[in-house]
């Protein structure tokens, strides 16, 4: 009997033993620095000439792993092996597939500190952010395993005498999972486990920034009982091999999380039917956001400032759910701006190998250059009231302090384009209605939050704020599996609702089976439709 789903508790780093365990894990992962990681196809571990280096953004010269990179020939090989393996994997009972996820969850719990430490080193997550990532990954494994058991049960259908009918959910086929670097454990684990537990085979394409974390996810899933031919670890260049995987007629679906531009490209390419392709490919996409927190006249300003700072600068603003626009009615604009600057200015930026640092580096040099470019734009489009300059020289890490920009126009580039970094635009609204209008004035629609104490305003926001995840009087980040099904509207993607009861449907198709059975004849038609009644009705009309 499987127990009821419960979210994984977070570690308490205030406890000395927990802190020591985390410090030991960081040291252990560092000692592995420079380890070689192969491409893995059908259980074969393959070293290639072309490689990806995993480095530490807090100290870019520190190499964590050297990862082999697949070319088109290896990608084709993986697709063929996955196609063959699908024929047997789809026949495995749902309960056995779910058990693989439950075992993987136990494996991840045992390696929890290792996963946390790997993300601290590979992508610059603080201890708390890294542990939240791992806890969410465990949640996905536990939740999706239980969801598959639910979908495998008898589905409710209306009864029809003389027939036995059933509805069952069957897998799609071979899928390509294209993961982001910002949640390298949780999102990769979530997309991959959902595809596997529903009976599909998977090519796992990790982000080039976080291939080490991805390899450890791969290890955990394999150790949980996923067969070698069912799951493949295929690091590759997105512009070349990634396009090939999306285009291939053997690919049945693509699960993607990442930027708007890449998501649109995948959506377009997947829509084209290739020679020999027998299906229309399915795309599950989570693409990004330009998320806003709206603050009403009578809001709790302390709470609003706390929520804005946590949402804007948690993991250096590198979340698709991060608050990048703070929209405040003019009555409280200056007061809230001062509070936000004060609270954000207290955040310590530095090497997150230390627990004392709440903000680490941005993910890599590309991110560093991109965010600094937007800071230059911000100097022209508003007034920088906090931050704006790197905290350290580039050689010491890709550190950018929390940056707050005041007097920003709703049409400014920094108010409309996804930056994915620690830059918050503070926008003044005339009133609450104007604030909602500004919040909706974006092509995205992922998360949003409203701080207000007026029930009628809250009700209005629930109706009018167009986003997939709306939060009232709390921050706009931190969705919990099973509690806040996550996904957005418009250019934020296909509203996948990850971590919700509908998510597994995206990786399956429904099959209805009707069988005529021997038994008593169908019941007589209702008197309302009897021939005698119809004749009498016609006679009455005449």
pLDDT one-digit tens code per residue, 451-487? 999 999 999 999 999 999 999 999 999 999 999 999 9
In a domain, 13, yes or no: no
Identify whether residues 276 and 371 lie together within a single domain: no
Domain identity same for 123 and 234: yes
266 and 119 inside one domain: yes
- Residue 44 CB contacts under 8 Å (≥ 6 apart), including other chains: none
Local structure of 233: helix, strand or coil: strand
Closest alpha carbon to 190 in 118, 139, 244:
139
User: Which of 100, 236, 320, 323 is labelled catalytic?
Assistant: 320
The pLDDT assigned to 520 comes to 62
Residue 534 lies in a domain: no
In a shared domain, residues 136 and 173: yes
| H/E element, 270 | helix 260-271
SS3 256: strand
At residue 534, the pLDDT reads 45
Decide: 388 and 403 in contact? Cβ < 8 Å.
yes
The set of residues, in sequence order, having a beta carbon less than 8 Å from that of 14 and lying 6+ positions away, is none
**523 catalytic per annotation:** no
pTM over 0.75: yes
Per-residue pLDDT of the chain (542 residues; tens, 9 = 90+): 899 999 999 999 999 999 999 999 999 999 999 999 999 999 999 999 999 999 999 999 999 999 999 999 999 999 999 999 999 999 999 999 999 999 999 999 999 999 999 999 999 999 999 999 999 999 999 999 999 999 999 999 999 999 999 999 999 999 999 999 999 999 999 999 999 999 999 999 999 999 999 999 999 999 999 999 999 999 998 878 999 999 999 999 999 999 999 999 999 999 999 999 999 999 999 999 999 999 999 999 999 999 999 999 999 999 999 999 999 999 999 999 999 999 999 999 999 999 999 999 999 999 999 999 999 999 999 999 999 988 655 568 999 999 999 999 999 999 999 999 999 999 999 999 999 999 999 999 999 999 999 999 999 999 999 999 999 999 999 999 999 999 999 999 999 999 999 999 999 999 999 999 986 655 544 444 444 444 444 444 43
Q: Is 459 a catalytic residue?
A: no
Phi-psi label, residue 499: left if phi above 0, alpha if psi -120 to 50, beta otherwise: left
Determine, yes or no, domain membership for 444. Answer: yes
**Residue matched to tokens 């990850």:** 498
Q: DSSP letter string over 5-51? A: P-PPPPP-TTSHHHHHHHHHHHHHHHHTTTEEE-EEETTEEE--SSE
The answer to whether 244 and 254 are in contact (CB under 8 A) is no
Q: Is residue 390 part of a domain?
A: yes
pLDDT at position 535 = 44
Q: Does 4 reside within a domain?
A: no
Is the residue at 15 inside a domain? no
Q: Give me the pLDDT at residue 518, please.
A: 84
Give CA–CA dist 331/24, Å, rounded: 50
Candidate list 8, 114, 136, 286, residue with the active-site label = 286
Residues 348 and 413 in one domain: yes
The 3-state DSSP composition of the chain as helix, strand, coil percent (nearest 5) reads 45, 20, 35
Contact 293, 448 (CB under 8 A): yes
- Clarify whether residues 334 and 266 are in a common domain: no
Q: What pLDDT is stored for residue 30 in this prediction?
A: 97
Residue 345 contacts residue 335 (beta carbons within 8 Å): no
Per DSSP, which regions of 162-311 are E strands? 163-171, 174-178, 201-205, 231-233, 253-257, 282-286, 291-295
Residues in the chain: 542
The pLDDT, as a whole number, for residue 523 is 56
> Are the CB atoms for 517 and 162 separated by under 8 Å?
yes
Identify the pLDDT of residue 425: 98
| Secondary structure of residue 328 in the 3-state scheme | strand
For residue 424, which of 332, 297, 307 has the smallest C-alpha distance? 307
In terms of domains, do 342 and 390 share one? Answer: yes
Burial class for 160, CB neighbours closer than 10 Å (0-12, 13-18, 19+): exposed
Q: How many domains would you assign to the chain?
A: 2
Find the domain containing 266 and state its range. Answer: 57-287+496-510
The H or E element that residue 213 is part of is: helix 211-223
Closest CA to 326 of 308, 346, 301, 299: 308
- Write down the pLDDT at residue 239: 79
- The reply to whether 3 falls in a domain is no
Output the domain CATH number for residue 117: 3.40.605.10
Query: Is the same domain home to 328 and 356?
Result: yes
Residue 434 sits in the same domain as residue 301: yes
User: CA nearest 424: which of 394, 400, 452?
Assistant: 400
- The answer on 274 and 381 residing in a single domain is no
Is 48 within a domain? no
For residues 239 and 347, membership in a common domain is answered with no
The pLDDT, as a whole number, for residue 522 is 53
Asked if 252 and 309 sit in the same domain, the reply is no
- For helices 211-223 and 94-110, give the axis angle rounded to 10 degrees: 130
- Identify the DSSP state of 203: E
Of 424, 411, 170, nearest to 316 by C-alpha is 424
CATH number at residue 449: 3.40.309.10
List of residues 6+ apart from 502 with CB closer than 8 A: 485
Residue 391 has a pLDDT of 63
């Amino acid at each position: 009997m499987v127990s009821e789903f419960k979210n994984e508790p977070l570690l308490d780093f205030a406890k000395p033993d927990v802190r020591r365990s985390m410090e030991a894990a960081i040291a252990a992962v560092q000692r592995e620095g420079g380890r070689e990681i192969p491409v893995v196809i059908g259980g074969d571990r393959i070293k290639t000439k072309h490689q990806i280096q995993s480095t530490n953004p807090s100290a870019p010269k520190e190499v964590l792993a050297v990862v082999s990179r697949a070319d088109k020939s290896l990608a084709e090989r993986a697709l063929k092996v996955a196609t063959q393996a699908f024929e047997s994997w789809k026949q495995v009972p749902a309960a056995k597939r779910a058990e693989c996820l439950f075992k993987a969850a136990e494996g991840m719990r045992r390696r929890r500190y290792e996963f946390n430490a790997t993300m601290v080193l590979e992508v610059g997550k603080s201890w708390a952010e890294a542990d939240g990532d791992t806890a969410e990954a465990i949640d996905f494994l536990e939740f999706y395993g239980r969801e598959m058991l639910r979908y495998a049960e008898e589905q409710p259908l209306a009864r029809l005498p003389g027939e036995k009918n059933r509805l069952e959910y069957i897998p799609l086929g071979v899928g390509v999972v294209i993961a982001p670097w910002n949640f390298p454990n949780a999102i990769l684990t979530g997309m991959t486990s959902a595809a596997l537990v529903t009976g599909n085979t998977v090519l796992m394409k990790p982000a080039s920034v976080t291939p080490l974390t991805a390899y450890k996810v791969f290890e955990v899933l394999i150790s949980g009982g996923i067969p070698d031919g069912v799951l493949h670890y295929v690091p590759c260049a997105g512009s070349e091999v990634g396009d090939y995987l999306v285009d291939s007629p053997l690919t049945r679906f693509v699960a993607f999380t990442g930027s708007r531009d890449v998501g649109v490209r995948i959506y377009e390419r997947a829509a084209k039917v290739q020679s020999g392709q027998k299906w229309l490919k399915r795309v599950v996409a989570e693409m990004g956001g330009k998320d806003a927190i709206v603050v009403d006249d009578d809001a709790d300003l302390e709470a609003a400032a706390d929520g804005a700072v946590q949402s804007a600068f948690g993991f250096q603003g590198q979340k698709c759910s991060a608050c990048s626009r703070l929209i405040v009615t003019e009555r409280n604009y200056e007061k809230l701006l001062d509070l936000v600057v004060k609270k954000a200015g207290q955040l310590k930026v530095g090497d997150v190998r230390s627990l004392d640092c709440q903000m680490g580096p941005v993910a890599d040099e590309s991110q560093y250059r991109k965010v600094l470019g937007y800071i230059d734009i911000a100097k022209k489009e508003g007034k920088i009231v906090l931050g704006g300059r790197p905290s350290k020289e580039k050689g010491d890490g890709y550190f950018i302090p929390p940056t707050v920009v005041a007097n920003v126009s709703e049409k400014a580039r920094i108010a409309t384009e996804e930056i994915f970094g620690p830059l918050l635009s503070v926008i003044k609204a005339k009133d609450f209605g104007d604030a909602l209008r500004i919040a909706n004035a974006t092509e995205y629609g992922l998360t949003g939050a409203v701080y207000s104490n007026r029930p009628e305003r809250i009700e209005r926001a629930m109706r009018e704020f167009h986003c997939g995840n709306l939060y009232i009087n709390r921050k706009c980040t931190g969705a919990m599996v099973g509690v806040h099904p996550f996904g957005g509207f418009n250019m934020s993607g296909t509203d996948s609702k990850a971590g919700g009861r509908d998510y597994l449907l995206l990786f399956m198709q429904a099959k209805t089976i009707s069988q005529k059975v021997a038994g008593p004849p169908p019941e007589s038609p209702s008197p309302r439709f009897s021939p005698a009644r119809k004749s009498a009705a016609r006679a009455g009309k005449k």
